[in-house]
Amino acid sequence: MADKTPLLHEILAVEQDVKAKAERARSQAIDTFRSKISHFSGIRRTFRPFAVDEALGQTGGERLEAETRLAKTVNDELAKVMREVGKSIDIGLRLDEANTRAKADIVVDGKVLVENVPATFLLQLERRLRELRAVFKEAPTYDPVRLWSSDPSADKKHVLRAEPVVTIRKQRSRKYNVMYEATKEHPAQVDVVEVDEPVGEIRSYEWTGMLSTGKKAALLEQLDRLLAAVKQARSRANTTPIDKHQKMATVIREFLLAPIEG
């Protein structure tokens, strides 16, 4: 059975893991080269006496005194690193090549807004729309209890004017009420009362450039519909088949290691 052709979203799912393995292999190789240099060396120390006492059972020839075996070679270590880095190179090549073909339409309510948008840009557009949503969410709204209407005399568009608020201005004054008239024996008795008397009418006019709560909700809903459409388009674009024959790791490895091979 022929191997199933992988899709772009399937490779995207494992891309970070492949890159992480390549990074671990690279870091481990650097650590080995720096702190475990003894792994790349082996020694064998022998002793050959010039004279022996056969009566004491001594024998001539070379005797092993110490030995450490070679654990690694730089070639082997670099080859191991290149295997993991090579996988990362190949998966990156396949992804980028597929992304040049991965496109989809942005469709809202069955209507195509934009055709053939690249998958990489759809991801960027999704981020931009999320950033815009944070801005839309903070848009101020005016008091819905008051009555507002368009003001054609305003020097800017989308300016509303509220019905004027009428208040009465009052002024404190004194009133004198004669309780008892004056007589020959007693002066008049007068009651002094302080009262607030209306002196005029105040009209407060107010304009606003804010949104109604309904329009703000509609604005957010419109953005959410577009955001959902972009996510769906990105999902469709990521079903692009991957060309598994796209490889360059072997060529890169052979070129880089040529000076130490052979």
Q: How many residues are recorded in the chain?
A: 262
The answer on 95 and 2 residing in a single domain is yes
Domain end call among 210, 239, 254: 210
For 171-229, the pLDDT digits (tens) are: 888 887 877 777 777 787 878 788 888 888 888 889 999 999 999 999 999 999 999 99
Domain end call among 163, 181, 210: 210
Residue ranges making up the domain that contains 49: 1-101
- Stated pTM of the model: 0.68
The answer on 62 and 6 residing in a single domain is yes
The residue assigned the tokens 């809202």 is: 108
Minimal CA–CA distance to 26: which of 87, 93, 96, 91?
87
Q: How many CA atoms lie within 13 A of 171 on its CB side?
A: 4
The answer on 161 and 74 residing in a single domain is no
For residue 177, tell me if it sits in a domain.
yes
For 121-176, the pLDDT digits (tens) are: 999 999 999 999 999 999 999 999 888 888 888 788 888 999 888 888 888 888 87
The answer on 76 and 12 residing in a single domain is yes
CA distance 187 to 145: 58
For residue 135, tell me if it sits in a domain.
no
For residue 77, tell me if it sits in a domain.
yes
The answer on 4 and 78 residing in a single domain is yes
The answer on 182 and 97 residing in a single domain is no
